[in-house]
Amino acid sequence: MTETADPPPSSDDVRESRQRAGRAIRDLSHAFIGRHASVEQIDRLSEVLEGITAELWPQDHRSRFDAFDRERDIDYPQGRFTHDFDDRPVSGTASPYGLDLELHRVGDEIEALVTLRSAHEGAPGRSHGGVVAALFDDVFGFVLGVIKQSAFTGELTIRYHAATPLFSELACRVRFDHQDGRKIYLVGELTERSSGNLIATAKATFIAVDPEMFARLTAERPPPPDESSSPTA
């Protein structure tokens, strides 16, 4: 099967539907982790989800790269902004792995407001550290958009100063620090908005790459494997 983008005539409808479904999947994960359910409810959930998954696998492969390419040309405005790459993990509105970020550009800094929820809990009462790392990694990606430089994460260091609270609005604020050849150094911090407490700080080294490299990666990327015969499908 060939990779196809969503059909252009209905792309807005498809996009809106995908965003709604992404949100529903994320909400489901929090309700599932955060609430008791009877065996009957859990089995019903499994049947519905397995049925929908079995409907999707036989469809044509879908490419995410139109949105990825568009994203690279966007100038984020000052203040609150949204972006087009809905499938992007962490900040994508249609991604099952989204964190429901509210994004702001403040000068050349990026601030993401986020409230972590039940499915993000690691040690009791606090966020999983990897969720915080993913948050920083993705939000750093918007700084690359501000400085107009394609790059990959080379190193990411998080210092966890305090437990990352759930159900409380956090601000993840990140910025460019300096550049040395192809190495781009970014820094940022995570704070709790209500108390102003410092939760974590992050440093990252991104390695600049030729934007054409992304085009080559897209062109060379094989379609994902058909998993319809896997035991879970």
Ligand X SMILES: CCCCCCCC(=O)SCCNC(=O)CCNC(=O)[C@H](O)C(C)(C)COP(=O)(O)OP(=O)(O)OC[C@H]1O[C@@H](n2cnc3c(N)ncnc32)[C@H](O)[C@@H]1OP(=O)(O)O
CB of residue 206 vs ligand X: minimum separation in angstroms? 8
Q: In the range 127-166, which residues lie near ligand X by CB under 6 A?
A: 137-138, 141, 152-155
Strands 109-115 and 61-62, how do they pair?
unpaired
Under the criterion CB under 6 A, does residue 182 sit at the interface with ligand X? yes
Question: For the chain, how big is the Rg over CA atoms in Å?
Answer: 19
> Rounded to whole angstroms, how far apart are CA atoms 175 and 106?
10
- C-beta of 30 vs 64, nearer to ligand X: 64
- C-beta of 30 vs 203, nearer to ligand X: 203
Distance of CA 13 to the CA centre of its chain: 22
CB of residue 31 vs ligand X: minimum separation in angstroms? 28
Site string for ligand X, 93-112 (x = CB under 6 A): --------------------
Residue with tokens 């054409």: 212
Residue with tokens 């994508």: 92
Q: In the range 68-87, which residues lie near ligand X by CB under 6 A?
A: 85
> Rounded to whole angstroms, how far apart are CA atoms 158 and 134?
10
CB of residue 64 vs ligand X: minimum separation in angstroms? 9
Distance of CA 233 to the CA centre of its chain: 24
DSSP code for 5: P
Contacting residues toward ligand X, per CB under 6 A: 85, 88, 137-138, 141, 152-155, 181-183, 205, 207, 209
